[in-house]
């Protein structure tokens, strides 16, 4: 019996050695990072900056793949079902915490089906209008919206998104009805806003600033606790009399069951990337706020965000089709 036990133990140890060796050598091939919204938007921009530097730190290419659709659940479902080997990751955003309250049935659990790697940061929203409109302040914005009697439009990256909820909460607080126009991502919404097909949008500073600088959009207020360095002359929306905070956020996750050594290696590499002065400058110059969190703290943050938005949606009595 002792000989048999020793043989079985030897086989088990030998069988585990290749897997452990593979984990310690990770990554040995390109890594895919899925995003749930189209190319050209905020999530794409941030993911490419981070992925580019992860490639340098870990010595393998990190490829960004956009799979938009179904309010972000299409890509998220694919990652939840992916092999938990560290070669399929996802840069999630605020929709990850919103979707459990927006959709009645989603084919994954936003907490149980994912292994947090690390939080990157957030992008406060900016209330912007098309530059062709004679609107230069929040007061003038609300006056114009009242005059339109519900026909004044604001775009969003999709139903139940932070940009949608910011618009709903602002309209409710001001007592001014507006027409919500949802899009499948930030890029198509921004294109229509710049072209003048939309009146306004709560958009991220990351993608709005270049168009503001080009004179195509006009910023009226930021939905953050303080003014942004990149837009120092734009007041917070609280300064205009409407205390509202909303931001997109982004962080890296893997499928649940991904080996702990792989998560730890990715966590460490992401922290190294976010500490790079050039990365911090690129993100900050775009209007993002870099606030790195490790795997454990990011997991806690996701749980807090799910609870926060569930309460906001319930208190506002928002209903989604």
pLDDT value, residue 14: 52
Q: pLDDT band at 2, cuts 50/70/90?
A: low
Helices (H), 26-160: 42-58, 73-81, 95-102, 138-148
What is the count of structural domains for the chain?
A: 2
Q: Is the pLDDT at 239 greater than 90, yes or no?
A: yes
How far apart, in Å, are the Cα atoms of 118 and each of 4, 32, 139? 44, 16, 40
- The Cα–Cα gap between 213 and 216 comes to 8
- The Cα–Cα gap between 151 and 243 comes to 24
Do 131 and 185 lie in a common domain? yes
Do 99 and 149 lie in a common domain? no
Number of neighbouring beta carbons within 10 Å of residue 265: 20
- 244 within a domain of the structure (yes/no): no
pLDDT value, residue 60: 98
How far apart, in Å, are the Cα atoms of 54 and each of 27, 238, 240, 258? 11, 37, 41, 18
- The Cα–Cα gap between 131 and 215 comes to 7
Do 214 and 162 lie in a common domain? yes
Among candidate residues 40, 46, 116, 41, the one with its CA nearest the CA of residue 288: 46
pLDDT digits over 46-86, tens only?
Answer: 999 999 999 999 999 999 999 988 878 999 999 999 999 99
Do 139 and 214 lie in a common domain? yes
Do 149 and 293 lie in a common domain? no
| CATH number for the domain harbouring residue 139 | 3.40.190.10
pLDDT value, residue 317: 74
Q: 295-315 vs 95-102: helix axis angle to the nearest 10? A: 40
| Residue 229: CA count within 13 A, CB half-sphere | 10
- The Cα–Cα gap between 132 and 40 comes to 23
pLDDT value, residue 294: 97
- 9 within a domain of the structure (yes/no): no
- Token output for 238: 């609280």
- The Cα–Cα gap between 66 and 44 comes to 8
Q: Is the pLDDT at 21 greater than 50, yes or no?
A: no
**Which of these three, 222, 257, 291, is where a domain ends?**
222
Do 139 and 106 lie in a common domain? no
pLDDT value, residue 229: 85
Distance of CA 296 to the CA centre of its chain: 18
Percent of the chain topping pLDDT 70 = 92
| CATH number for the domain harbouring residue 86 | 3.40.190.150
- The Cα–Cα gap between 272 and 266 comes to 10
Do 260 and 116 lie in a common domain? yes
Structural domain for 184, as ranges: 124-222
pLDDT digits over 153-168, tens only?
Answer: 999 988 888 899 899 8
- 14 within a domain of the structure (yes/no): no
- The Cα–Cα gap between 285 and 287 comes to 5
- 21 within a domain of the structure (yes/no): no
- 232 within a domain of the structure (yes/no): no
Do 208 and 255 lie in a common domain? no
- 70 within a domain of the structure (yes/no): yes
Do 286 and 308 lie in a common domain? yes
């Amino acid at each position: 019996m002792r000989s048999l036990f020793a043989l079985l133990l030897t086989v088990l140890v030998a069988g585990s050695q290749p897997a452990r060796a593979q984990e310690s050598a990770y990554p040995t091939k390109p890594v895919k990072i899925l995003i749930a919204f189209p190319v050209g938007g905020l999530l794409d921009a941030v993911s490419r900056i981070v992925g580019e530097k992860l490639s340098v730190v870990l010595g393998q290419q990190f490829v960004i793949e956009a799979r938009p659709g179904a309010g972000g659940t299409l890509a998220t479902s694919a990652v939840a079902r992916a092999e938990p080997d560290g070669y399929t990751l996802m840069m999630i955003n605020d929709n990850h915490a919103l979707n459990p309250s927006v959709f009645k049935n989603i084919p994954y659990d936003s907490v149980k089906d994912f292994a947090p790697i690390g939080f990157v940061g957030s992008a406060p929203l900016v209330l912007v209008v098309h530059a062709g409109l004679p609107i230069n302040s929040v007061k003038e914005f609300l006056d114009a919206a009242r005059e339109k009697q519900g026909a004044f439009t604001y775009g969003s990256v999709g139903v139940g998104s932070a940009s949608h909820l910011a618009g709903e909460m602002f309209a409710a607080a001001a007592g001014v009805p507006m027409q919500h126009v949802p899009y499948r991502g930030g890029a198509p919404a921004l294109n229509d806003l710049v072209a003048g097909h939309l009146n306004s949008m709560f958009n991220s500073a990351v993608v709005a600033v270049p168009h503001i600088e080009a004179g195509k959009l006009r910023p009226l207020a930021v939905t953050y606790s303080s003014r942004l360095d990149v837009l120092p002359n734009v007041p917070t929306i609280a300064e205009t009399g409407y205390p509202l905070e909303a931001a997109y956020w982004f962080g890296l996750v893997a499928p649940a069951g991904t080996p702990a050594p792989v998560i730890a290696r990715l966590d460490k590499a992401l922290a190294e990337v976010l500490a790079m002065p050039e990365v911090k400058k690129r993100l900050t110059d775009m209007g993002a706020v870099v606030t790195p969190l490790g795997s454990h703290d990011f997991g806690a943050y996701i749980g807090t965000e799910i609870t926060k938005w569930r309460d906001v949606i319930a208190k506002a009595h928002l209903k989604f089709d």
